[in-house]
Amino acid sequence: MESTAGALIGMGMAAAGFAGAGVGIGFIFGKMIESVTRQPEAEARVSKYMWIGFALVEATALYGLVIAFIIMGMRGG
């Protein structure tokens, strides 16, 4: 019973990475909008780095999802 509770807590903690990813994605796009409104001519240059940052933040969320699924598989259900 204790290992089941620990597995559920571990799955919840792994899934908590989605909250961080949501905050990170919002921050990235918000700063992109802010920088383009200040300097519209730099949009193409800044946009490239925005998409790279978005991909890295999204990868972090996917790693959390994979870990949650691995814990679920180890738990047996």
Burial 50-60 (b: 16+ CB within 10 A, else e): beebbeebeee
User: Looking at residue 52, which CATH number applies to its domain?
Assistant: 1.20.20.10
Residue 52 lies in domain? 10-75
Residue position matching structure tokens 């691995």: 70
Q: Is residue 28, in this structure, part of any structural domain at all?
A: yes
What distance, in Å, lies between the first and last C-alpha atoms of the chain? 14
How many angstroms separate the Cα of 24 from the Cα of each of 7, 36, 41, 52, 75?
27, 18, 25, 13, 30
The answer to the question of residue 3 being in a domain is no
Residue 1 lies in a domain: no
What is the per-residue pLDDT across 14-72, written as a single tens digit (0 to 9) for each?
A: 888 888 899 999 999 999 999 999 999 999 999 999 999 999 999 988 998 888 888 88
Q: How far, in Å, CA of 52 to CA of 62, rounded?
A: 15
The model's pTM is 0.75
Please check whether residue 63 lies inside any domain of the structure.
yes
Q: Total structural domains in the chain? A: 1
